[in-house]
Amino acid sequence: MRNTAAFITPGRRAGLSAAAILATGLAGCSVLPQRPPPHALTSYRITLSDTHASARTSPACPAVRIAAPTAAAGFGGPAMRYSENPGTIANFAFHRWAAPPARMLEPILVQSVSASGLFEAVLAPDAPAGAPLQLDTQLLALLQRVTGPRSTIHLAVRASLSNVRTHRQLSAHRFVIDIPAQAANAPAGVQATDAAIGQFSHELNAWLAGLARDGQCSARN
C-alpha cells in the first residue's frame, strides 16, 4: 500500500493546515442571517365576574334552552380582530382568543340568564331535558377600534327568544356596546371585552325581564 503522506511537502502541509483552520472557523460562524427567536403566542379567555343572583322568588317564565351561539362571517375563529380605519379589519399577530368568542359566550349566557331568576330552568345547548323556550344569539362583531394611542372595544350581539313548540319568534333585539380600553393593545382590549360582556349580560337580562313583564315569555304565545 502506497504511503501518500510521504509525498506531502512541508509547504503543502502548511497550506492544508491553514485550510482546515479556516473551514473550522466558517463552520462555527454561519454566513446566513440568524433567525430571531419565535415570539410567544398569548391566548386569552373571556370572563364574566359580576353576576349577582336575583332576589326573585318565583320565575315569571318557563324553562329556556340557551342555543349554542353563532357568529357572523369574519368573527367565527379565535383571531383577535382590530381596526385602524373604517371598513378594514386585521388580526393581532401574537395574541388570540383561547377559543372562538361565540363558543366562550355559551357558558357566560347560561350563567347570566340563570342568575336573573326569570326562568324556571336554564338549560345548556346539550342538556337532555326539553324546554318550551329557546334563546338564540349571534355574535355580529367583536373588535378593537384603534385611534392613535386610544382604542375602544366594539361588541354587537343579536338575541331572539322563540317558542319551541310553535316555532314562533317571540321577540328579538340587537345589542351594541362600546367600551373604552386603557390602551391601544391587545391586553387592554381583553379587559375592555370582559367589561363589554358584563354590560351585554346586564342589558340582555333587562330585555328578558321586560318580555316577562309584558307576558311575552309564556309558553302559550
State yes or no: pLDDT of 37 exceeds 90: no
Question: Of 150, 142, 147, 145, nearest to 182 (Cα)?
Answer: 150
Q: How far apart are CA 36 and CA 53, in angstroms?
A: 51
In the structure, what pLDDT confidence band is assigned to residue 77 with cuts at 50, 70 and 90? very high
The pLDDT assigned to 206 comes to 96
Cβ–Cβ < 8 Å for 65, 134: yes
Q: Which residues contact 80 (CB under 8 A, 6 or more apart)?
A: 44, 91, 92, 95, 96, 97, 144, 186, 189
Tell me the pLDDT tens digit for each residue of 80-124: 999 999 889 999 999 999 999 999 999 999 999 999 999 999 999
Where do the structural domains in the chain lie, given as residue ranges? Answer: 56-213
Tell me the pLDDT tens digit for each residue of 136-195: 999 999 999 999 999 999 999 999 999 999 999 999 999 999 999 999 999 999 999 999
Q: Which CATH class is domain 56-213?
A: alpha beta
Tell me the pTM: 0.80
The number of CA neighbours under 13 Å toward the Cβ of 198 is 13
Alpha helices in 76-140 (DSSP H): 101-116
